[in-house]
């Protein structure tokens, strides 16, 4: 996988050592996430909308109702900024000033295009399903023509992107390391509980393995 070339817009300037531009790092963050925030402006008014997404190869897909104002606006070719953030831990320093968080984030810039071709649209919808629960697509009823018509899918090429990452312990001022204050990291992770059956589930149906042993960690 080729690295992304930093641009004037994606170059990490503050704490540049936290920037990452290799495709493996960026794709791994995107594949682990659930929600992206889509930023765009209409007539000078900025909007930032949280929504689900999926990555397939070097394309990021977002989707929703055909009546969605956001999707109609983006399909018109406006500039868009998409961000994804994973929170990995709370960094507790000896001073209030140096408290922080460990995180992995990605910023993607560009213009989205509407997916019209049926085969690519189905591929994108499969990617959405698999983004949330791997192996689920093969178990579900596939979208009907009416459902496809009611759904808008947009494709955003992953051509201008960068990651920013913080890891490790607190970084206190040297004189503060002698203070009698606990400091360190509280790790955070998404942990799945036991599957809860639908009250209208047919008797005798057991949760599939991917629901019983759900994990956001990608192979």
Ordered structural domains, the chain, with CATH = 16-89+101-168 (2.30.110.10)
> What's the confidence (pLDDT) of residue 16?
80
> What's the confidence (pLDDT) of residue 4?
83
> What's the confidence (pLDDT) of residue 136?
95
d(CA 86, CA 206): 31
Name the stretches of the chain with pLDDT < 50: none
d(CA 91, CA 69): 39
Lookup: tokens for 151: 């759904």
With vertex at residue 95, the alpha carbon angle to CA 93 and CA 99, rounded to the nearest 5 degrees, is 45
Lookup: tokens for 163: 């990651």
Is residue 62 within 8 A of residue 70, CB to CB? The reply is no
By C-alpha distance, which of 105, 106, 97, 104 is closest to 170?
A: 97
Q: CB under 8 Å to 39, separation ≥6 — which residues?
A: 46, 47, 48, 80, 81, 82, 83
> What's the confidence (pLDDT) of residue 167?
97
State residue 125 phi and psi, 5-degree precision. Answer: -65, -35
> What's the confidence (pLDDT) of residue 6?
80
d(CA 7, CA 54): 24
> What's the confidence (pLDDT) of residue 1?
60
Is residue 59 within 8 A of residue 158, CB to CB? The reply is yes
Is residue 107 within 8 A of residue 114, CB to CB? The reply is no
Reduce the DSSP state of residue 88 to 3 states and report it: strand
Which spans in 96-155 are helix H? 118-132, 145-149
Distance of CA 49 to CAs 31, 53, 89, 105, 120, Å? 19, 12, 25, 17, 24
């Amino acid at each position: 996988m080729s690295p992304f070339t930093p641009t004037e817009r994606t170059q990490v300037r503050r704490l540049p050592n936290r920037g990452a531009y290799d495709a493996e790092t960026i794709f791994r963050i995107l594949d682990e996430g659930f929600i992206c925030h889509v930023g765009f402006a209409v007539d000078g008014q900025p909007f930032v909308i949280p929504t689900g997404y999926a990555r397939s190869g070097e394309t990021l897909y977002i989707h929703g109702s055909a009546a969605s104002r956001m999707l109609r606006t983006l399909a018109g070719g406006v500039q868009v900024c998409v961000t994804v953030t994973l929170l990995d831990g709370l960094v507790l320093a000896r001073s209030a000033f140096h408290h922080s968080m460990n995180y992995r984030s990605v910023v993607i810039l560009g213009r989205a295009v509407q997916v019209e071709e049926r085969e690519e649209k189905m591929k994108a919808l499969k990617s959405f399903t698999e983004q949330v629960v791997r192996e689920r697509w093969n178990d579900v009823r596939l979208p009907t023509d009416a459902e496809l018509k009611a759904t808008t899918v947009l494709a955003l090429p992953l051509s201008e992107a960068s990651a920013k990452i913080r890891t490790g312990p607190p970084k206190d001022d040297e004189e503060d390391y002698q203070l009698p204050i606990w400091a360190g990291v509280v790790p955070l992770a998404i942990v799945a509980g036991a599957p809860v059956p639908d009250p209208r589930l047919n008797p005798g149906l057991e949760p599939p393995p991917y629901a019983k042993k759900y994990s956001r960690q990608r192979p």
